[in-house]
Amino acid sequence: MIGKSVGITRDDRFITYTETAAEGDIWLATLE
């Protein structure tokens, strides 16, 4: 899934992870 990965350093001392958010709107195009 987009933006939901996890990792860990080889010494187990740090966890890494992604945090993803989206903003979405609906638009209307009027062709001339």
Partner 1 sequence: MFLTRDAGVKILDFGLARRSLGASEDTKAPTLSPTEPGTVMGTVGYMSPEQVRGQPADHRSDIFAFGAVLHEMLTGRRAFQRDTAAETMTAVLKEDPPELASIAPGLPPALERVVQHCLEKRPEERFQSASDLAFDLVAHSGSVSGPRGAAASSRWPGWLARLVAALVAAGLVFEAGRRSGRPAATATSTAMPASFIAITDDAGVESQPSLAPDGKSLLYVAAPAGQNDVFLLRVGGRNPVNLTADSPVDDGQPAYSPNGERIAFRSERDGGGLFVMDSTGESVRRLTDLGHSPCWSPDAKEIVFSTDGFLYPTDLGGRGGGLQVADVETGKLRTIVGGTALSPRWSPHAARIAYWGLRPGSGQRDLFTVRADGSEATGVGTPVIADAALDWAPAWSADGRFLYFSSNRGGSMNLWRVAIDEASGQALGAPEPLTTPASWSGAFSLSRDERRIAFETLDWRSTLLRVGFDPVAEKVVGSPMPILRSTQPMRDHEISPDGEQVAFTRAGTREDLFVARVDGSQFRRLTDDAFRDRGPAWSPDGRRIAFYSDRGGTYQIWAVRPDGSGLEALTAIDVSPTFPTWSPDGRRLVLVSNNASGLLIEPVAGSPTSKATELPRPRDGSLFWPFTWSEVGERLAGAVVEADGRVSGLAVYTFATNRYELLGGSDNTWFRNARWLRDGRRLLVRNTQGIQLVDTTTQRSRLLLPVTGT
Residue ranges binding partner 1 (CB under 8 A): 1-32
Beta carbon of residue 13, minimum distance to partner 1 (angstroms, whole number)? 6
How would you class 27 by CB atoms within 10 Å of its CB: exposed for 0-12, middle for 13-18, buried for 19 or more?
exposed
Beta carbon of residue 11, minimum distance to partner 1 (angstroms, whole number)? 7
User: Coil, helix or strand for 32?
Assistant: coil
Beta carbon of residue 23, minimum distance to partner 1 (angstroms, whole number)? 5
Rg (CA), the chain: 19
